[in-house]
Amino acid sequence: MRKDVSVRELPTGERMRIVKHRYMPVGLSEAEVSYLPRACIVTGMHGDELEGQYVVYELVRRLRSQPQHLAGVVDVYPAVNPMGIGAIERGIPKFDLDMDRIFPGSHDASPFEAMAADLVEDVRGAQVAFDLHASNIYLQELPQIRVNEQSAQRLLPLARQANVDYVWVHESAVVLNGTFAYSMNSLGVPTLVVKAGVGMRITPEVGEQLAIGILSVLAQAGVWTGPLPLVRAPRVGTDNEVSYLHAEAAGMFVPCVQFGRDVAQGQVIGHILDCGSAEVLQELCSPVDGLIFTLRAYPLVYPGNLIARVLGGSPC
Amino acid sequence: MLEESILSLELPYRDPFDVRAFSFGIDTSGKALGKGGDASALERSLCVVAGIRGDEVMQTLVCALLVERLEKMERSKELTPGHLVQVIPCANPASMGIGRRFWPLDKTDINRSFPGSSNGETTQRIAAGLFEQVRDFTFGIHLSSFYLEGDFIPHVRVMHGPGERGNHGADFCMPFVTHYEPGSFDTTTLHYNWRLCGTEAYSFYTRKTTVADEGIARDAVRSLLRFMGARCLTRHRAHGGSQSFELAERALVPVQVPAGGVCCSAVRVGSVVEKGQLLATIRDLLCGRVTARVVSPCDGVIFYQARTPLVNEQTLVFQIAPDNVDEVPISLA
Ligand SMILES: [Zn+2]
């Protein structure tokens, strides 16, 4: 069943909508399912992040092929920033603020903030929620969940079930209280933020991996009773186990390692090139032994641009 | 006057990023900066920053005209000896040069990157480098723009919350001094971080942003000079100006449109309106039929007007400074 969660009119008469698709146990009415546990899958907050599209496809395909295993409600919101997706824009066209900084929204500022408030209202009361992000076009990310230290106790058991490679526990200093996840968590809906892949692309393996992870969390929440493949045990790390590598020169970055593999301390990760003079401006080496879970995907770099994040011990 | 580069960075296939600062001051021996004056003997009194976003053209023009004016005042010894005044007309020439509001590569807003980090992302480094240069002034003025496009009654904003200190906003003699409670996304602005580090900060809003109007800019320069005069940084008193009204921003009455379409406004920024008065007409963009009339919910003055002619349902098209603001108290320590 498809439903408009929030609708606002554009000047041309077109309507901007946040749509949701609801999947519920066979033979039950809307009223009857209101007592059942509910899970919400939100994606498309950043219009240039498309990995969530394929995650949702893989998830819904599984739900629809075995409807007898649904014991609760799954609400899927595939495009909460529909205009951004259409325009290949991270933000909302004609609006300066990042959509993931305006939650819980407001009814007296702009239509976009009002739509954010409508979305919060709709998700409120769910047993669990996911907010699926890709990376931007600049960086490639291994499937990971980022949780804040404050909510770690509540979210970690769910995050471990989600079939991601890495769970990053952030210190409380980096709480972003305008995010969808922060708003939902403070309203009592455990909400997991997943980041995976790269902007403007779909990586099929990422979609399958995360669809299985979501199903396994749905099972834990009592929404899904179907068979489950084994999920991987993620590495769990805090801020001080992550090392950063930044560009110090302006030019083209070309990697020479495989993404998602372990590297040794001192191993060359890539070079920044001045192509016209065929000069190597900077050689970048891993500061630690560890796993490259973030790697620069967009070749052009300015000084300061992030090249890689390595999960490992602190550098010697 | 001393002109110097305060921040530079290599850019791929472009000339280096280079931020220029103009410093003014006369030391106790009567020598001006750049003419043998000793900058280290001066008190860091005022820093004025504009152009953190590349489309803040009016703000940059105001600073440019201020530089021109201060140079003359320095020559005619109208500046009070012992004070350093620094003006940075364009903190983000890389974006302004190509007509972009945000950072060219990743669209980051530098005014959402403070205090920055010297070994972080590009825009974090720029924010950190800039902040290093503009901190530790007694007064800081950021010529900023609002996140919604539109025109404002000229005003200065003071922020409540952490680091709150004195309020001399009325010294600009602009029509309004607005009082603002910062939200989560304000904590990374220059204004907020200035204040955390002990600077008495003001955000200064001109009537327009993306255009260059010399008349509007000269009015803004006079407001800045009035502030400087009142704070004893100059011997010059720019006459004119208004008696500022102190207003809590949450007292502003929002007016949103009930339907999408083309919005034909019947009033302008600064118009005095009465409750029930027609403010705008919304027409169907294709057949011209009037689909809604927007009327004023209160007596007051149009404080903000959206610039976009095409509106979505619920677009904020006006904010009205209501005549009756008694029920919304303002407080500043
Ligand atoms: Zn995102």
Q: With 90 as the cut, is the pLDDT of residue B325 above it?
A: no
Q: B195 and B312: one domain?
A: no
* Segment B227-234 mean pLDDT: 96
Which pLDDT score, from 0 to 100, does residue A47 have? Answer: 93
Q: What is the largest CA-CA distance in chain A?
A: 70
Compute CA distances A31 → A2, A35, A73, B302, whole Å.
16, 8, 12, 48
Give the start-to-end residue ranges of the domains of chain A.
2-233, 240-312
Residue B85's pLDDT band (cuts 50, 70, 90): very high
Q: What is the ipTM of this complex?
A: 0.73
Task: Using CB atoms, pick whichever of A11, A97, A138 lies closest to residue B260.
Answer: A11
Q: B105 and B236: one domain?
A: yes
Give A-chain residues touching B281 at CB under 8 angstroms. Answer: none
From B204, B228, B246, the end of a domain falls on B246
> Strand, helix or coil at A131?
strand
Q: Is residue B327 part of a domain?
A: no
Query: Distance between CA B85 and CA B146 in Å, rounded?
Result: 26
Over the stretch B126-168, which tens digit does the pLDDT of each residue have?
Answer: 999 999 999 999 999 999 998 888 999 999 999 998 888 889 9
Which pLDDT score, from 0 to 100, does residue A172 have? Answer: 64
Over the stretch B91-104, which tens digit does the pLDDT of each residue have?
Answer: 999 998 888 899 98
Q: B281 and B216: one domain?
A: no
> Strand, helix or coil at A18?
strand
H or E stretch covering A30: helix A30-33
Over the stretch B112-129, which tens digit does the pLDDT of each residue have?
Answer: 999 999 999 999 999 999
Q: Is residue B119 part of a domain?
A: yes
Distance from the alpha carbon of residue A101 to the mean position of ligand 1, in angstroms: 11
Q: B147 and B202: one domain?
A: yes
Cβ contact B254–A108 (<8 Å): yes
Q: B220 and B260: one domain?
A: no
CA nearest neighbour of A184 among A41, A15, A25, A30: A41
Q: Is residue B57 part of a domain?
A: yes
Q: B64 and B122: one domain?
A: yes
From B219, B246, B273, the end of a domain falls on B246
Distance from the alpha carbon of residue A196 to the mean position of ligand 1, in angstroms: 10
Give B-chain residues touching A8 at CB under 8 angstroms. Answer: 260, 312-314
Distance from the alpha carbon of residue B104 to the mean position of ligand 1, in angstroms: 19
Pairing of the two strands B278-283 and B300-306: unpaired
Contact B93, B60 (CB under 8 A): no
Which pLDDT score, from 0 to 100, does residue A315 have? Answer: 45
Q: Is residue B333 part of a domain?
A: no
Compute CA distances B329 → A13, A177, B181, whole Å.
41, 26, 12
Over the stretch B21-79, which tens digit does the pLDDT of each residue have?
Answer: 999 999 989 999 989 999 999 999 999 999 999 999 999 999 999 999 999 999 999 99
Q: What residue numbers bound the domain in which B165 lies?
A: 2-246
* CA distance, residue B39 to nearest chain A CA (Å): 31
Q: B220 and B256: one domain?
A: no
Query: Distance between CA A198 and CA A205 in Å, rounded?
Result: 12
Q: Is residue B258 part of a domain?
A: yes
Q: B138 and B271: one domain?
A: no
Contact B241, B172 (CB under 8 A): yes
Over the stretch B192-223, which tens digit does the pLDDT of each residue have?
Answer: 999 999 999 999 999 999 889 999 999 999 99
Residue written as token pair 């990422």? A206
**Helical pair A51-65 and A204-220, crossing angle rounded to 10 deg:** 50
* Most A CBs within 10 Å, among B314, B317, B319, to test the A interface: B314
CA nearest neighbour of A71 among A222, A211, A229, A227: A222
Give B-chain residues touching A303 at CB under 8 angstroms. Answer: 9-10, 122, 125
Q: How far apart are the first and last CA of chain A?
A: 56
Give A-chain residues touching B282 at CB under 8 angstroms. Answer: none
Contact A53, A43 (CB under 8 A): yes
Distance from the alpha carbon of residue B108 to the mean position of ligand 1, in angstroms: 14
* CA distance, residue B285 to nearest chain A CA (Å): 6
Tokens of A224: 């899904």
- For residue A289, give the amino acid letter: D
Query: Distance between CA A7 and CA A27 in Å, rounded?
Result: 29
CATH number for the domain that contains residue B43: 3.40.630.10
Which pLDDT score, from 0 to 100, does residue A220 have? Answer: 95
From B246, B266, B282, the end of a domain falls on B246
CA nearest neighbour of B256 among B298, B315, B215, B308: B315
Its CATH class, for the domain covering A240-312, is mainly beta
Cβ contact B262–A304 (<8 Å): no
Q: Which residue of A has its CA nearest to B318?
A: A109
Length of chain B: 333
Which pLDDT score, from 0 to 100, does residue A316 have? Answer: 39
Compute CA distances A194 → A55, A63, A99, B177, whole Å.
11, 20, 16, 43
Tokens of B333: 């320590």
Residue B7's pLDDT band (cuts 50, 70, 90): very high
Residue written as token pair 């800039």? B130
Which pLDDT score, from 0 to 100, does residue A245 have? Answer: 95
Give B-chain residues touching A109 at CB under 8 angstroms. Answer: 254, 316
Give A-chain residues touching B121 at CB under 8 angstroms. Answer: 246, 304-306
Per the structure, the count of domains in chain B is 2
Backbone angles phi, psi at A196, to 5 degrees: -160, 145
Residue B327's pLDDT band (cuts 50, 70, 90): low
Contact A195, A133 (CB under 8 A): yes
Q: B256 and B242: one domain?
A: no
CA nearest neighbour of B113 among B105, B123, B104, B102: B123
Q: B25 and B147: one domain?
A: yes
- Enter the pTM of the model: 0.85
Compute CA distances A112 → B8, B62, B302, whole Å.
37, 32, 23
Which pLDDT score, from 0 to 100, does residue A14 have? Answer: 82
Which pLDDT score, from 0 to 100, does residue A295 have? Answer: 97
DSSP A167-218: EEEE-GGG--TTSHHHHHHHTT--EEEEEEE-TT---HHHHHHHHHHHHHHH
Q: How many helices (H) does chain A have, and how many strands (E)? A: 7, 17
Q: Is residue B329 part of a domain?
A: no
Query: Distance between CA B295 and CA B297 in Å, rounded?
Result: 6
**Residue partners of A304: CB distance under 8 A and separation at least 6:** A246, A247, B9, B120, B121, B122, B123, B124, B125
Cβ contact A111–B125 (<8 Å): no
CA nearest neighbour of A98 among A46, A145, A176, A43: A46
- Bridge partners, residue B141, by sequence: B48, B202
Q: B80 and B171: one domain?
A: yes
CATH number for the domain that contains residue B299: 2.40.50.100
Query: Distance between CA A86 and CA A17 in Å, rounded?
Result: 12
Q: Which residue of A has its CA nearest to B119?
A: A304
Q: Is residue B330 part of a domain?
A: no
Which pLDDT score, from 0 to 100, does residue A171 have? Answer: 81
Cβ contact B254–A16 (<8 Å): no
Pick out chain A residues at pLDDT < 50: 315-316
Q: Is residue B34 part of a domain?
A: yes
Q: B147 and B237: one domain?
A: yes
CATH number for the domain formed by residue range(s) A2-233: 3.40.630.10
> Which of B253 and B161 is assigned the larger pLDDT?
B253
**Residue partners of A94: CB distance under 8 A and separation at least 6:** B308, B312
- Bridge partners, residue B17, by sequence: B9
Residue B333's pLDDT band (cuts 50, 70, 90): very low
